[in-house]
Amino acid sequence: MQCATIKKGVNCSFMKKKGCSFNEGHCQQIVEPCQGCSRVSTYEDGDFCNVVPSPSTKWRVGPCSFATHVDRKREEVAQKINPLKASKRAAASRK
The model scores a pTM over 0.85: no
pLDDT value of residue 62: 85
Q: 57-93: b or e for each residue (b if 16 or more CB lie within 10 Å)?
A: ebbeeeebebbeeeeeeeeeeeeeeeeeeeeeeeeee
Residues 9-64: tens digit of each pLDDT: 777 777 888 878 877 777 888 899 988 888 888 888 888 888 888 888 888 988 88
Per DSSP, 41 falls in state E
Q: What is the mean pLDDT of residues 64-77?
A: 81
Helices (H), 1-95: 55-58, 83-94
pLDDT value of residue 48: 87
pLDDT value of residue 93: 85
